[in-house]
Chain A
Amino acid sequence: MEDGDRLHVVTADHISDQRRRLGKTLVWGSAALMALIMALQTLDGIGTLSIGFENWRPSLYAYLFWSTCLCVSQVLIRGEHGKRTLFVLPAALFVISMVVFPLLFGLVIAFSDWNLSSPDGRQFNGIDNLRQMAGDPFYWNAMRNMVWYTVAIVVEYAIAFGLALLLNGQIRARKFFRVAFLLPLMLSPVAVSWMIGKSMLEIRFGPISRFMRYIASEPSPDLAAPLFWIGSYISDFGQWLGWASPSFFGSAGVARAMIMMMDAWTFIPFMMIMILAGLQAIPRELFEAAEVDGASKWRQFWEVTFPLMLPVSITAILIRIIFKLKLADIIINITSGGPGGATDSVTSFIFREYRDRSNVGYGTLLAIVYLVVIVIAMTILMKLADRWMKPRY
């Protein structure tokens, strides 16, 4: 439109008044139709009219019709510029209708007492839900858990960085390792929670608990003396770790660590690939220069690689945090928040709040408070990241 276009095109549009009028009629006509249908449905819903709509589909169709008319009229009214708007408009309309409306609607729900299983329907109850939230220890516990889960990203990042460095080094069968390392990312969290959480971590005959018991068991006395000594040291160590009778989801700390590990298992490849892409973009000359200057590998990493990787690292970590904040599937399927809410994430807690009590109003309030906390935290993080990303010369 203005000089700002990267693709600057001069077009000669002659749009007749008639065409412009047609476009305007189309938009306002369809808007009026939509308003009419919605009004009719609202009146029908209150009970003033008795048309007997089965559902709100007519309003939906009217909205779709209006959106289409809006897009068409853009071209009619504004010609070539309208065609450009058409690139962004459908996606914008889609996101607005799928996010903004439900969010506004959610705000209404959040301040009402609405239990889907009770016959009373929705009742506005002011800040009662807020008061209930303030006194809900399980919600704050879930929030605290989210902090722990987020902190675990540091370890994931270190492992991912290490693996990316290995993959970026001179190794054979690079493609095989890359595919193998990528595969966990492709698996659905639900399948992972069964495969690992329920099957491999099974206490009696899961392979991991079996291995742990094997480590902690006394070595066979037939072994040669030195092997026997080593074996008994290992077994003492295993017993000291409590591996003789492994339990994964019994105590709070261990259960939380297990959830962290399973989530890390699926998402480490994601960070690894982003970091790998960053590593491959570093020009070789920098390392050669460092080599000539006599820097050791260790110094090279801290003085060249790591600082150059800072922007990529921060992007990867931010995206990872965003995904981490959605963590729920594994928890819902393995522990359902247990033992005693120790592994609950906010999402899984609200999921159960709805599943067990159909408490839509309270659940929505919790979710919206969570969203507000996330937005504030992410804004602060992004501001800080912006400052860190500035190269220091």
Chain B
Amino acid sequence: MSDQIFKDSESDRKFRPVWYFSRALVYGVLLLWTIVCLFPIFWTATTAFKTAPDVMQGNILPWVDFQPAWLGWRSLGLSPDTIGNESTVRAEFLKRFWNSTIIAVSASLLAVILGSCAAYGLSRFSFKFGFMRNSDISFFFLSQLILPPVVLALPFLVLYKSLDLLDTRIGLILLYTLTVLPIVIWIMRDQFSSIPTELEEAALVDGLSIWGAFTTIVMPIALPGMVAAFILSLVLTWNEYFFAALLTSSNSTTLPVMVASQTGSQGISWWSMAALSFAAILPLIVIGIILERYIIKGMAAGAVK
């Protein structure tokens, strides 16, 4: 073998340990934060399969520290041996789950429809309602974000009482739509302003009406943004607790209210609470893992101009 001509200089060789050290540090911090993020979810998921002694002893790893049991899921009527039987708890759970689903999905849909139209109008035409021009109208919509829910809560309580809308799904849907509408408008305005107007101009020249151009040309292009807005709304409305706790009592109670009302009653049976909490967060965890791209896209909208 011939002698090596090109050698790492002394300074480069000194550099390697520093590089390894910084890599180790980076991955160490990343792993640490991953544990911080995932351990509570892992803890809840495993506690749902624990029995009383496992909880007391603080066993952590399934199959290593303890044998998983169906205790928590049995109390919800969702374990393999009880799934065929009648169960009042399961009926209750499924009712709440269904309420949450209907309310979250319809509120998000309504918000996306209303918000997309408004955002499109504001990004394309200049309006004048009284003294309000486009920027004022946009600000009017976005400023709703500042409004804390507590300001609306008690007036709505009284209003809904006189309108007979207390404890109805439609009442919650309307309120939830209101709370997520500014976010939808914010995301969609960003989306539409990035679509060139030449597309619609061509469509209009070809004889489409403005609504025809909107639904057939613009909407398909803006669809990813709409999905992002929809999912963000879904997350916020699925998790909403404050209004649901105030405005519903029995018929249209959502899942968070059910989880909250179980805490503390009848002592605490850890396993069933864990099963219930886990069932309540599972849909969003699945959505988060599958549709992570859209969520990030939605949140990044408006951050970068």
Contacts and interface: CB of A to CB of B under 8 A. Distances in A.
The listed residue with most B CB atoms (<10 A of its CB), out of A5, A180, A205, is: A180
B239 A328 contact: no
A80 B150 contact: no
Contact of B117 (A87, A106, A109, A191): A87
Interface residues of A, number: 102
A325 interface: yes
A69 interface: no
Interface stretch (B3-11, B78-86, B269-277): B269-277
Interface string A352-385: 0010000010011001101100110010000000
Contact of B210 (A83, A276, A312): A83
Interface string B29-45: 11001101111110110
Interface residues of B, number: 105
B117 A177 contact: no
Interface string A316-331: 1001001001101100
Contacts of A163: 33
Contacts of A91: 114-115, 117-118, 141, 181, 185
A60 B171 CA distance: 12
Given A91-B141, A105-B159, A199 B274 contact: yes
Contact of B292 (A9, A85, A182): A182
Contacts of A319: 145
A99 to B, nearest CB: 6
The listed residue with most B CB atoms (<10 A of its CB), out of A84, A90, A375, is: A84
B118 A87 contact: yes
A4 B122 CA distance: 11
Contacts of B1: none
B146 A190 contact: no
B175 interface: yes
Interface in B20-69: 26-27, 29-30, 33-34, 36-41, 43-44, 47, 55-58, 60
Per DSSP, are chain B's interface residues mostly helix, strand or loop, or mixed?
helix
Nearest to B163: A56
A53 B170 CA distance: 21
The listed residue with most B CB atoms (<10 A of its CB), out of A7, A186, A196, A205, is: A186
Contacts of A134: none
Contacts of A60: 163
Interface in A272-323: 273-278, 281, 311-312, 315-316, 319, 322
A95 B178 contact: yes
A206 to B, nearest CB: 8
Interface string B85-126: 000000000000000000000000000001101101111111
A316 B174 CA distance: 27
Contact of B299 (A175, A273, A347, A368): A273
Contacts of B216: none
B285 A183 contact: yes
A185 B128 contact: no
Nearest to B114: A91
Contact of B124 (A6, A184, A333): A6
A162 B300 CA distance: 17
A179 B287 CA distance: 11
Contacts of B146: 322, 325, 374-375, 378
The listed residue with most A CB atoms (<10 A of its CB), out of B27, B60, B125, is: B125
A189 B239 contact: yes
Contact of B38 (A6, A80, A183): A183
B49 to A, nearest CB: 14
Given A94-B177, A171-B30, A191-B280, A99 B144 contact: yes
17 contacts: A7-B201, A87-B125, A88-B118, A94-B114, A171-B30, A184-B40, A185-B235, A194-B273, A199-B270, A210-B58, A274-B299, A274-B300, A276-B300, A329-B256, A333-B263, A367-B150, A370-B151
Given A102-B155, A166-B30, 8 more contacts: A7-B201, A9-B204, A84-B127, A87-B124, A179-B289, A328-B149, A329-B242, A367-B150
